[in-house]
Amino acid sequence: MSDDRSTILDSIRASLASAASSRTAGRPHGPPPAIAAPPLTSEVTVPAVHPGEPASIRAITEFQAALDRAQGVCHRVTSDAGAADALQAVIADLGVRRVARSDDQLVIEILERVIGGFELLPPDVDRALLLECGLGVSRATIGVVEYGTIVLSSGDAAGAEGLPTERQRLVSLLPETHVAILAATDLVDTWDAALAALRLDSRRLPPTATFATGPSRTADIELELVLGVHGPKNQHVILLEHR
């Protein structure tokens, strides 16, 4: 409603003006709070690790440790075949029958190496079927070393140049177990750096980007921690050290 728009903006301007004038005329509540605007180009420390650069062993081990603290599991592998083995093992351990996947190229390549023993659903699968699905495999756009966070972004970018972007967001959300494929070159040190990288590489932010740290959780009943509420109960990350 355009009417409300001008009402609100006018009210804000009138209030700000009246605060400014009472600041100069006697101060009823002492000196005004210092309005120290943070510097425009913030000194967000340039991340020691940039997406696209080889990650150090330190970054990899710290990511693994952080994800472990968040009750997630990090599988470190050094080849695509190793990634396929890790994925196969997770599927077998959980006894999952149906697996959903995103349309990311790396996800497809790794799944092609997995021997099988389960039904693989295509990315554009019917939602009802996805709700019944036990495990979803998708790509993590970025990994954050400090928290063990993975960034899941959806959009329509081809992914040829910038960060990988896939077109599904339910694959990582509906199944009880989510397995994310993360290339070590996509690790950054901090949450802030991941946010900056999201914009840096695609110029425009993706429609949705979720920063996910470990399995979903709640403590709403007597503050007792329960893993797996509405989001995944198990969060696995297969970290490709060779990529």
Residue 84 or 170: which CB sits closer to other proteins? 170
What's the one-letter identity of residue 134? G
Residue 82 or 155: which CB sits closer to other proteins? 155
The least distance separating other proteins from the CB of residue 66, rounded to whole angstroms, comes to: 9
Residue 90 or 147: which CB sits closer to other proteins? 147
What's the one-letter identity of residue 225? L
Residue 63 or 147: which CB sits closer to other proteins? 147
The least distance separating other proteins from the CB of residue 134, rounded to whole angstroms, comes to: 14
Residue 11 or 78: which CB sits closer to other proteins? 11
Q: How far apart are CA 206 and CA 153, in angstroms?
A: 6
The least distance separating other proteins from the CB of residue 207, rounded to whole angstroms, comes to: 4
The least distance separating other proteins from the CB of residue 153, rounded to whole angstroms, comes to: 9
The least distance separating other proteins from the CB of residue 80, rounded to whole angstroms, comes to: 25
Pairing of strands 149-154, 142-144: antiparallel
Residue 79 or 208: which CB sits closer to other proteins? 208
Q: Which residues contact 78 (CB under 8 A, 6 or more apart)?
A: 240, 241, 242
The least distance separating other proteins from the CB of residue 71, rounded to whole angstroms, comes to: 10
The least distance separating other proteins from the CB of residue 105, rounded to whole angstroms, comes to: 15
Q: How far apart are CA 138 and CA 141, in angstroms?
A: 10
Residue 45 or 79: which CB sits closer to other proteins? 45
